[in-house]
Amino acid sequence: MEAAITDQTTAILWPVSDIPGVASLEEVSEIAHRHDLDVIVDAAAALPPVSNLRRFIDLGADAVIFSGGKAIRGPQSTGIVAGRADLIESIALQHQDMDVYPQTWSLRGKYLESGLLPGPPHHGIGRGFKVGKEEIIGLMVALERYLARDHEAEFAAWLARVNAMANALDGIPGVSPEVFIDPRRPIPVLRLNLDEAVVGKSAYDIVNELAEGEPPVLLSEGFAFRGLVGVNPMGLQEHEDAIVVERLQAVLGA
């Protein structure tokens, strides 16, 4: 990575990932800062744990991007950028409206009269991706609610539900249920290891059949290439567990 840095390099993007061999954030930050580069962390899906809201900054990141949807459960079109104040300021300036005049811009003293900018930044690159004021308020409320939730109780409820689903699916020929917990993202996921020769269908077949059936059920398919599908409880309402189990039993021939 360090050998790839040139005078054209602006920043280094570090994705929160479970891919083997990815350098740690601490190591990436040390290299980047030695070359006067900023580190941007793609933490869109890095919640939970709630501690990640601050942990990446503590490990050397300069800016961290979180999805406003997913675990926070805010508007899906929103996001949070946390980090160094001057980077956040730069991002905000890139969202300015073109209908701002130098003589009346509320920030003219800070940016124009001081000489920091030659004029209002009309239509910055972020303007086309602006978030509505209603969505911003929705995200702020969702973040407050996320921080106030009992995360230990929520984890325990998820774990109980996936254990119950695993028990209900145990014994189906060619299917080995297991509950998997990634320590870096503590969401218990029900994984179904498939003997495709016994089941008579591939993991991809099962994913498609469930998605296209009635009611549609969308599974975690990231490991389908290994003959494995997953059930993530995060988005399930309590009454929906039985629906998922019933559809899986039908598709798996139970």
140 and 32 in a common domain? yes
184 and 239 in a common domain? yes
CATH of the domain at 82: 3.40.640.10
> Looking at residue 222, what is its pLDDT?
84
Query: Could you give the CA distance from residue 238 to residue 44 in angstroms, rounded to a whole number?
Result: 25
| pLDDT digits 0-9 by tens, 218-250 | 998 888 999 999 999 998 988 899 999 999 999
217 and 136 in a common domain? no
242 and 165 in a common domain? yes
* Residue span of the structural domain in which 234 resides: 151-251
pLDDT over 90, % of the chain? 74
- Of 148, 181, 211, the residue at which a domain comes to its end is 148
What's the whole-model pTM score? 0.83
Q: 157, 158, 155, 176: which is closest to 167 by C-alpha? A: 176
Under 8 Å between Cβ of 119 and 102:
yes
| pLDDT digits 0-9 by tens, 46-55 | 999 999 999 9
Structure confidence at residue 159 as a pLDDT band (50, 70, 90): very high
171 and 136 in a common domain? no
246 inside domain: yes
pLDDT over 70, % of the chain? 99
16 inside domain: yes
- Of 148, 183, 216, the residue at which a domain comes to its end is 148
Q: 215, 221, 202, 220: which is closest to 244 by C-alpha? A: 215
85 and 11 in a common domain? yes
137 and 160 in a common domain? no
